[in-house]
């Protein structure tokens, strides 16, 4: 009925906000905002979605403001300051809604690692360079593929491997490391570290250094911690002295601001017989998460404060890339399950022959699986629902 107040309008604003803060799914908040203009106003002005992002990944709190890079600004001569503020709040809400979805996304992770940046030491360059760790194979062209540190008599001397990720902002879920087994040495020893720790951050100079990676790799001795600002430092994880890819899952989704990952290899275990020194060797490294190609950042003058930058054109490219990845994964899955598919078709053909002989189509559901597509929602999240 016209003029009738909604339930939200009947409630006190504090009561509504208290209820909304109990929601932990960004899709629920976006759906609530789509109910009415009143609901939209409450959600947008209270910045609920940003608070939800901070609850998932505290690094989000470091963003002071949001800038839409390729959006035409509103004509100030035709709009009031209040209108401009409202439009900015809506854009901010949409950006954080998309970020919240990426932080909560499940089952769509992929490799985020892009290129090696630096190794604290290298025993024989380039044969044992950090660049070898990008190849998942332990042998390449008949030669062992791995990175090796220089030898040390002190088992406490650490090593670091530094990598650049694909995009300036990435959601990182886990890091995978495979120690190297020297199968060409007596006893095939495994040169693993005793423990690992991870740092995520950015170059001191801001987003991405202009120094080519190959130039940094040539002079890869010594510590380079002063070149970076670390926004996240993990706990220490014990590493097993086994020849397999070991997964180190972070306790929560971590928003990597700056596209730099540094792996600290702590403690040496294996001594080389020929020189009596301790080495650490790594065969392969991978970073699993979600690259956020539609987002970027700018460092503000004050320490650890940033502007979050969003690009609509890069969002389209990001969605296209995500869909392409899903198609490739589906194709690989289909290839791996071809035997099951053929067997299913044979079973269905036999069932049809039985049905034809019996003349009873009522038993078709007993022999044949139901292949009709479900009409249920696929759970797709649309931050621009209103």
Which token pair is 373?
Answer: 């597509």
Which token pair is 291?
Answer: 């690259």
Q: What are phi and psi of 246, to 5 degrees?
A: -105, 135
Name the most confidently modeled range: 136-145, 287-296, 373-382.
Answer: 287-296
Total-model pTM: 0.76
More confident residue, 89 or 354: 89
Reported as a single tens digit per residue, the pLDDT across 188-206 is 999 999 999 999 999 987 6
Cα 257 to Cα 249: distance, rounded to the nearest angstrom: 18
Mean pLDDT of the 230-243 span: 97
Confidence of residue 307 (pLDDT cuts 50, 70, 90): very high
Reported as a single tens digit per residue, the pLDDT across 90-129 is 999 999 999 999 998 876 789 999 999 999 999 999 999 9
Confidence of residue 72 (pLDDT cuts 50, 70, 90): low
More confident residue, 7 or 79: 7
Domain positions in the chain are 1-104+299-334, 110-292
59, 257 contact by CB (below 8 A): yes
pLDDT score of 267: 98
* Residue 312 pLDDT > 90: no
CA 102 from chain centre, in angstroms, equals 8
Confidence of residue 1 (pLDDT cuts 50, 70, 90): very low
Confidence of residue 326 (pLDDT cuts 50, 70, 90): very low
Alpha helices in 62-181 (DSSP H): 81-104
More confident residue, 176 or 214: 176
Overall fold of domain 110-292: Jelly Rolls (2.60.120)
Indicate the angle between helix axes 81-104 and 48-56, nearest 10 degrees: 30
Confidence of residue 26 (pLDDT cuts 50, 70, 90): confident
**What 3-state DSSP class applies to 244?**
coil
* Residue 154 pLDDT > 70: yes
Confidence of residue 301 (pLDDT cuts 50, 70, 90): confident
CA 77 from chain centre, in angstroms, equals 42
More confident residue, 125 or 317: 125
Average pLDDT, whole number, for the chain? 79
Which token pair is 243?
Answer: 């020849």
């Amino acid at each position: 009925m016209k003029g009738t107040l909604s339930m939200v309008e009947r409630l006190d604003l504090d009561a509504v906000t208290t209820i909304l803060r109990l929601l932990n799914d960004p899709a629920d908040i976006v759906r609530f905002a789509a109910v009415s203009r009143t609901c939209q106003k409450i959600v947008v002005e209270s910045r609920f979605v940003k608070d939800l992002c901070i609850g998932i990944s505290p690094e989000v709190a470091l963003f002071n403001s949001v800038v839409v890079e390729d959006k035409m600004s509103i004509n100030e001569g035709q709009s009031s300051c209040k209108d401009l503020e409202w439009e900015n709040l809506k854009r901010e809400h949409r950006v954080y809604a998309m970020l919240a979805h990426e932080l909560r996304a499940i089952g769509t992770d992929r490799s985020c690692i892009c290129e090696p940046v630096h190794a604290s030491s290298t025993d024989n360059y380039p044969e044992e360079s950090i660049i070898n760790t990008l190849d998942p194979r332990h042998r390449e062209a008949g030669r062992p593929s791995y990175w090796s540190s220089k030898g040390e008599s002190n088992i406490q001397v650490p090593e670091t491997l530094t990598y650049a990720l694909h995009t300036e902002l990435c959601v990182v879920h886990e890091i995978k490391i495979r120690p190297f087994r020297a199968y060409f040495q007596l006893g095939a020893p495994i040169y693993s570290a005793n423990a690992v720790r991870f740092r995520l951050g950015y170059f001191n100079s801001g987003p991405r250094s202009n120094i080519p990676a190959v130039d940094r790799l040539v002079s890869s001795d010594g510590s380079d911690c002063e070149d970076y600002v670390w926004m996240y430092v993990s706990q220490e994880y014990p590493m097993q002295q086994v020849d397999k890819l070991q997964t180190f899952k972070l306790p929560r989704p971590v928003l990597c601001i700056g596209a730099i990952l540094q792996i600290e290899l702590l403690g040496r275990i294996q001594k080389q017989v020929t020189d009596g020194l301790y080495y650490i060797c790594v065969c392969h490294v991978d970073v699993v998460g979600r690259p956020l190609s539609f987002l970027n950042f700018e460092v503000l003058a004050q320490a650890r404060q940033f502007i979050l930058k969003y690009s609509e054109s890069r969002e389209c490219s990001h969605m296209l890339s995500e869909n392409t990845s899903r198609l490739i994964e589906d194709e690989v899955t289909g290839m791996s399950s071809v035997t099951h598919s053929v067997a299913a078709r044979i079973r269905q053909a036999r069932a049809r022959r039985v049905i034809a002989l019996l003349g009873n189509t009522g038993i078709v559901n007993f022999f044949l699986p139901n292949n009709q597509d479900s009409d249920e929602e696929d759970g797709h999240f649309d931050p621009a629902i209103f």
